[in-house]
Structure 1
Amino acid sequence: MHHPIGDHALLADGRAAALVDPNGNVAWLCWPRIDSPPCLLSILDDEVGGAFVVAPLHPGANVVERGYIPGTLILRTVWRASGGELTVHDALACDGDVRLVRSMRATGTVDVGVRVMLAPDAARGSGEVVVDGATLRVRGGGIDVAVHAPAPWTVDADGVAVCRFTADPTERAVVLCDSANDGGTSLDGTERWFAARVSAGSTAPNQLAERSLGAEAARRLLTHSAAVLAGLRQRGGGIVAAPTTSIPQWPGSSRTWDYRYSWLRDTALAGLAMLRCGLTVDAGGLGDFIGAATSTLPPSVLLRVDGTAPPPERTLDGLRGYGGARPVRIGNAASEQPQLDVAGEVLEFAAALAAHDQLPQTLCAGVVRVADWTAEHWTKPDHGIWEIRGAPRHYTHSRVMAWAGLVQAAELADRGVVTGSAERWRRAADDIRAAVLRRGGALALTDVGGGPDAALAQAATVGFLDSGDPRLRETLNGITTTLDRGGLVDRHVPEADVNSDPCGPFLFATFWLAEALERCGRDGSPHFAAAAAARGSVDLFGEVADPRDRTPLGNYPQVQSHASFVLVATDI
């Protein structure tokens, strides 16, 4: 059975990632790396996608509590069953080698069942299953893992490994999945890993967040978003846009993309949010990743988390897809698109790192390369932040962000942080601004119109238009009147996209609109509250949401949504 995507919990350790559904099943797991082929993927096909369930055996058992230990991605689930309660702590352990720990203790006695059937190589491969008492080993299809349990395994006629045991208050029972056989079952090191990065409640919300959510809830969501960003940032590498692929942006649609890669745009926004949350070392690491990524031109749109080229986009036609949404994709063709706006986010991030004395040398050099390239190529069409397929166009948002990036680069050169031609960059920025404003009136999706674009709320936040400029007022009015859906906003009018499938409204764009309205002296709290409410049952944001009930849609959880929440909910 497919649960709503928003009912899944994220486990992440800076290397791998998993989603756990409300029934105690690991419905998504890429092993041993976040962009490896999944070996558990029932979220995309509950017939062939495998299973890893830990739950009470009693048929009347039900979950009475579910949430994270604050400031961590350790999931705590409390089951009530005949004979007592079972508390399960699930986590990808952050210390030692990659391993999934499912630790439990009962009050009273609770009979527990574990069911495991892996689906190597996205259910395209097969593994040899070997049982040695309480250890189950699966080799083949690109994986070599062992699942250690408190009691012996048996394998039924369908190839499902089953273990049954009784949990009681006397000792902790652990189900451990690993590849290294190091036997580490404690989660104390994982708590320490998160505590070293995320200080619960230390990030202060601003007035907009407090007005919209209340101070306590705003602090809690900021802490949780910091933990999500810390867990998804890959050690020594980038950060994925989301840990999943092919969760549709509208039920049943073909808008099913693979987000398990590092978009430079999303990476820069995540780094900016990390700086706001005090994760300066992690932010500096992302800056180093972007610096290396900009060593060649044009700047890459997206890369694998280790900085290498992503695979070509292809479909896995043997999978049924989430809720029947197809195709299931591996790889993302956006890697082949020119996207001019990337310069804006990257150069803004570089300026913020410099302000925190965290700008790495790789990105220091990258600033000059990106600014020079942008100054030379800004007149060319691209595919923009929305990655609209088909012919490239002159997207206004791309030019606004190119302008913002060149302004930031020129200021860095003025201060002697980078060596480059501030005069040339400012001259190009002036030319961009003149070209964008030539049409007059509200800013539109492209240079020839196309209607409002929700991303153009950033014209206010990056200073392209002053808060009192009537053109900014008209731009924001066009977004709120044309794109609003119950407080959330669509990215643009449907006719602008060659793909006619519907798409949910975007959370990060709604957060941006809220900030833009506030900067113009208007009330952004209804939009901020709507976007913040469109989160899952364990406080995770998707990319988009269903405006009818504000439930998450799309790949999940989405880094850009969490980062935008942090950036709009806090002050510099």
Structure 2
Amino acid sequence: GFGQARMGDRRREHGGWTAGAQGLRMRLAGAPDAVWRDEAGLRGEFRLREGETHDLVLELSSGRETEPLDADALWRATEQEWRRAVPDCSRLVAPRDARHAYAVLHGLTSVSGGMVAAATTSLPERANSGRNYDYRYAWLRDQCYAALAVAAHGPHPLVDDAVRFVAERILADGDRVRPAYTVDGRPVGKERSLRLPGYPGGNDHVGNDAGAQFQLDTFGEALQLFAAAAAHDRLTDEAERAAAVAVDVVERQWLKPEAGLWELEDRWWTHSRLSVVCGLRRMAEVLPGAAGRRCADLADTVLRETRRRCLHADGRWRRAEDDDGPEAALLVPMARGCTFGDDGDAATRAYVESRLSEDGYLYRFEHPGVPLGEAEGAFLLCGFAMALATHRVGDRVNAFRWFERTRAACGPTGLFAEEYDVRQRQLRGNLPQAFVHAMLLECSVRLAGESALP
């Protein structure tokens, strides 16, 4: 683990340094005069005159690479790779931000296909509250959100990466699928401290307790992803088998309480069931014969019981079977174009807006006895979901209002965190947050009328 192994086998080679520890190999070029001291590590000093530049190239790998670390060649290759990875977005709303979102999502994706939820750990959501977490893991749901956004634009390689990674996890783990994994598909360890100082207002954490939860909506989003892949003729045999396993798991598990999107206590969360209904319906549209009919029938069964348990007398969806409160997560299935009969969708959207919006931003749910904005920041995922749900009902003006207000909540780098403190105009929590950039991209596609998906 971190800080438990020292670099050994230290050598000066070809004008640079090499060393290794626990299966990792380090190469450093550009510091030929640096000195390695046992008590202080590798130390060097550079003096540059005004206008001068100097390149340092650090490589960490699991193999013994032999290619020279030529800075100029590496810069050129890097620029070419990023140009190749980011497609043309000129026909989309906010094309520069859409391209930036593509770049962020690509950068958060590993060679194994897993996409981390964010690149950082332990940046506090609220100072001195203990709410700082490690997001450097691949949440299956978050990656599905990202891939669905990309698939709306077209069959980009990020869709293939997500299909492969999610399918592998479902086939390997079935009913034991966890919300999050390491980027190479291993289990996520429990939260622990490294005894480092941490960011001001927080303390350091590695690991995440969500790795031991069960979240039903993960399967709903996975089924939507597989259906989107099928629409682009990118559904592999492995992914089709994974879809069948996901349907089996839903059939066995949908009546049981689970942790839900926000990773809270196990309850009968409405959003989880509606996500599953949406996923089953999408698969029913692309699977032929008995397999498609099975998905459609199961979707009807889940929806019927969810309506019985979770539909409020005034026609809107309740947050959970035992909770009448507003819940912004309910906007996500609506943003995906899933409708559930009667006027429940419109009533829910209106109720969420009336109770959870403030100053043009949207919060995820109410904290009893605490005004909006005091317990936590606005959730940017929810603001973009509201833009999409509003666009679905033909209210283009207000859809753009939600989109523009929410996309303004970034720093100078154009990166989004999960939360935004509206009053202090500050990002809260880890960044860049993959599913926020994903929802911005999906808004850019759908608000421009350029979606390749329903």
The TM-score, its normalising length taken from structure 1, stands at 0.68
Give the whole-Å Cα distance in 1 for the aligned partners of 2:305 and 2:353: 26
Q: In the alignment, what sits opposite 1:162?
A: 44
Give the whole-Å Cα distance in 2 for the aligned partners of 1:481 and 1:555: 28
Give the whole-Å Cα distance in 1 for the aligned partners of 2:293 and 2:237: 15
How far 1:403 moved relative to its partner?
A: 1.2
Give the whole-Å Cα distance in 1 for the aligned partners of 2:162 and 2:101: 17
Contact 2:141/2:218 (8 A) holds in 1:
yes
Describe the superposition over 1:380-428 as per-residue Cα deviations: whole angstroms up to 9, x where unpaired: 111110001x4x1111111111111121222222478x67724542442
Give the whole-Å Cα distance in 2 for the aligned partners of 1:434 and 1:256: 36
Give the whole-Å Cα distance in 1 for the aligned partners of 2:139 and 2:295: 27
Give the whole-Å Cα distance in 1 for the aligned partners of 2:311 and 2:391: 26
Describe the superposition over 1:292-311 as per-residue Cα deviations: whole angstroms up to 9, x where unpaired: 1111322332222112222x
| Secondary structure at the counterpart of residue 178 of structure 1 | strand
Give the whole-Å Cα distance in 1 for the aligned partners of 2:244 and 2:22: 44
Residues 428 and 237 of structure 1, relative CA distance in 2, 3 Å threshold:
same
Give the counterpart letter for 1:321 in structure 2.
Answer: G
Could you tell which deviates more after superposition, 446-455 or 123-132? 123-132
Describe the superposition over 1:90-114 as per-residue Cα deviations: whole angstroms up to 9, x where unpaired: xxxxxxxxxxxxxxxxxxxxxxxxx
Q: In the alignment, what sits opposite 1:524?
A: 399
Q: In the alignment, what sits opposite 1:434?
A: 307
Q: In the alignment, what sits opposite 1:307?
A: 185
Q: CA RMSD in A?
A: 3.0
Give the whole-Å Cα distance in 2 for the aligned partners of 1:204 and 1:411: 28
Give the whole-Å Cα distance in 2 for the aligned partners of 1:496 and 1:306: 42
Residue 390 of structure 2 is aligned to residue 504 of structure 1? no
How far 1:338 moved relative to its partner?
A: 1.6
Give the whole-Å Cα distance in 1 for the aligned partners of 2:249 and 2:32: 61
Describe the superposition over 1:428-460 as per-residue Cα deviations: whole angstroms up to 9, x where unpaired: 244344335543332222112241111111242
Instruction: Identify which of 449, 463, 470 aligns with 2:323.
Output: 449
Give the whole-Å Cα distance in 1 for the aligned partners of 2:11 and 2:174: 52
Give the whole-Å Cα distance in 2 for the aligned partners of 1:383 and 1:240: 20
Give the whole-Å Cα distance in 2 for the aligned partners of 1:233 and 1:158: 33
Contact 1:403/1:433 (8 A) holds in 2:
no
Q: In the alignment, what sits opposite 2:91?
A: 204
Q: In the alignment, what sits opposite 2:174?
A: 297
How far 1:364 moved relative to its partner?
A: 0.6
How far 1:202 moved relative to its partner?
A: 2.8
Give the whole-Å Cα distance in 2 for the aligned partners of 1:269 and 1:496: 32
Residues 370 and 432 of structure 1, relative CA distance in 2, 3 Å threshold:
farther
Residues 369 and 540 of structure 1, relative CA distance in 2, 3 Å threshold:
same
| Secondary structure at the counterpart of residue 193 of structure 1 | helix
| Secondary structure at the counterpart of residue 44 of structure 2 | strand
Residue 395 of structure 2 is aligned to residue 487 of structure 1? no
| Secondary structure at the counterpart of residue 48 of structure 2 | strand
Q: In the alignment, what sits opposite 1:546?
A: 421
Contact 2:281/2:296 (8 A) holds in 1:
no
Q: In the alignment, what sits opposite 2:284?
A: 410
| Secondary structure at the counterpart of residue 538 of structure 1 | coil
Residues 345 and 486 of structure 1, relative CA distance in 2, 3 Å threshold:
same
How far 1:547 moved relative to its partner?
A: 1.2
Instruction: Identify which of 422, 443, 450 aligns with 1:568.
Output: 443
- Percent identity, please: 26
| Secondary structure at the counterpart of residue 317 of structure 2 | coil
Give the whole-Å Cα distance in 2 for the aligned partners of 1:434 and 1:277: 33
How far 1:564 moved relative to its partner?
A: 0.8
Q: Structure 2: which 5+ residue stretches go unaligned? A: none
Q: In the alignment, what sits opposite 2:58?
A: 177
Residues 203 and 277 of structure 1, relative CA distance in 2, 3 Å threshold:
farther
Give the counterpart letter for 1:291 in structure 2.
Answer: A
Give the whole-Å Cα distance in 2 for the aligned partners of 1:154 and 1:260: 32
- Map 1:457-468 onto structure 2 (within 5 A): 457-465=331-339
Residue 356 of structure 2 is aligned to residue 478 of structure 1? no
Contact 1:484/1:490 (8 A) holds in 2:
yes
How far 1:289 moved relative to its partner?
A: 1.4
Give the whole-Å Cα distance in 1 for the aligned partners of 2:19 and 2:31: 18
Give the whole-Å Cα distance in 2 for the aligned partners of 1:244 and 1:424: 42
Give the whole-Å Cα distance in 1 for the aligned partners of 2:285 and 2:5: 53
Q: In the alignment, what sits opposite 1:396?
A: 270
Contact 2:163/2:226 (8 A) holds in 1:
yes
Give the whole-Å Cα distance in 2 for the aligned partners of 1:563 and 1:439: 31
| Secondary structure at the counterpart of residue 324 of structure 1 | coil
Give the whole-Å Cα distance in 2 for the aligned partners of 1:420 and 1:472: 25
Give the whole-Å Cα distance in 1 for the aligned partners of 2:210 and 2:243: 23
How far 1:239 moved relative to its partner?
A: 0.8
Residues 422 and 470 of structure 1, relative CA distance in 2, 3 Å threshold:
closer
How far 1:166 moved relative to its partner?
A: 3.1
* Number of positions where the alignment pairs a residue of Structure 1 with one of Structure 2: 430
How far 1:336 moved relative to its partner?
A: 1.6
Give the counterpart letter for 1:232 in structure 2.
Answer: L
Residue 129 of structure 2 is aligned to residue 243 of structure 1? no
Give the whole-Å Cα distance in 1 for the aligned partners of 2:365 and 2:129: 17
How far 1:465 moved relative to its partner?
A: 3.7
Q: Structure 1: which 5+ residue stretches go unaligned? A: 1-36, 38-120, 210-217
Q: In the alignment, what sits opposite 1:354?
A: 230
Contact 1:313/1:329 (8 A) holds in 2:
no
Residues 287 and 415 of structure 1, relative CA distance in 2, 3 Å threshold:
farther
Give the counterpart letter for 1:513 in structure 2.
Answer: M
Describe the superposition over 1:5-34 as per-residue Cα deviations: whole angstroms up to 9, x where unpaired: xxxxxxxxxxxxxxxxxxxxxxxxxxxxxx
| Secondary structure at the counterpart of residue 445 of structure 1 | coil
By percentage of residues, which structure has more helix?
A: 2
Describe the superposition over 1:51-80 as per-residue Cα deviations: whole angstroms up to 9, x where unpaired: xxxxxxxxxxxxxxxxxxxxxxxxxxxxxx
Give the counterpart letter for 1:443 in structure 2.
Answer: W
Residues 230 and 279 of structure 1, relative CA distance in 2, 3 Å threshold:
farther
Give the whole-Å Cα distance in 2 for the aligned partners of 1:552 and 1:228: 17
Residues 276 and 140 of structure 1, relative CA distance in 2, 3 Å threshold:
same
Instruction: Identify which of 239, 245, 259 aligns with 1:383.
Output: 259
By percentage of residues, which structure has more strand?
A: 1
How far 1:245 moved relative to its partner?
A: 1.5
| Secondary structure at the counterpart of residue 452 of structure 1 | coil
Q: In the alignment, what sits opposite 1:110?
A: none
Give the whole-Å Cα distance in 2 for the aligned partners of 1:508 and 1:517: 14
Give the counterpart letter for 2:181 in structure 1.
Answer: L
Instruction: Identify which of 69, 76, 93 aligns with 1:188.
Output: 76
Could you tell which deviates more after superposition, 349-358 or 284-293? 284-293
Larger RCO, structures 1/2 (Cα 8 Å, 6+ apart): 2
How far 1:461 moved relative to its partner?
A: 2.2
- Map 1:16-31 onto structure 2 (within 5 A): none
| Secondary structure at the counterpart of residue 297 of structure 1 | helix
